Amino acid sequence: MARVASHPVQIRTQRLVLRPPALADAARVSLLAGDYDVACMTGTIPHPYSEQMAGEWLTGARAGEEGVVFMIERDGTLIGCTGYRAFAPDHAELGYWIGKPYWGNGYATEAVRALIAHAFDADGFAYLKAGHFADNPRSERILRKLGFLALGGELRECAARGTTTDCLTYRLGRAEALANLRWP
């Protein structure tokens, strides 16, 4: 049976640091995640997304109300966020976003690879799930590159769009991850 580990101080990859959220991140989170092009590809980030809203979310994330959350930094600058939430003892669903100025550099792939290693190692999950809206081919490429296998589709709420939209879902088992991923 999986457990949810206490929040680690940080995870280092070749180019990134994944660290716990801080209340001081509110302005930067509001700026990056509040960009409609970012928010509309997540299920839960509304648009507009004020600094106060980001601060409230960070308070919950620091208290563990959002699952396991990491802020993604490159050279000391916050560029995005990733994390996972356990929905059953044997699995969790992960998510991520990268600020638009940092798209196209492989940061999401690098951060999520590290997150996967942490989730399987620290929390002992049998598998992870993830999803992306059907109009987000970048996220599809990330998940497929990391070995996730397509499960199907479903409708999910999108706060920024104010409606439900088609979402494609994926699964990555522990055995497949160990066989296919280079751990950071």
**3-state DSSP call for residue 12?**
strand
Residue 146 domain flag: yes
On whether residue 101 sits in a domain, the answer given is yes
Please state the domain count of the chain: 1
Determine, yes or no, domain membership for 23: yes
What is the predicted pLDDT for the residue at 6?
53
Residue 59 maps to a domain: yes
CB atoms closer than 10 angstroms to residue 167: 18
Please check whether residue 149 lies inside any domain of the structure.
yes
3 is a domain residue: no
Residue 184 has pLDDT above 70, yes or no: no
Residues contacting residue 66 through CB under 8 Å, at least 6 positions apart: 57, 60, 83, 85
Give the residue numbers spanning the domain of 111. 11-177
Q: For the domain that residue 46 is a member of, what is the CATH number? A: 3.40.630.30
Model confidence pLDDT, tens digit, residues 29-62 = 999 999 999 999 999 999 999 999 999 999 999 9
The amino acid that residue 63 corresponds to is A
4 part of a folded domain: no
Read off the pTM.
0.94
Spatial distance between the Cα atoms of 147 and 129, rounded to a whole number of angstroms: 11
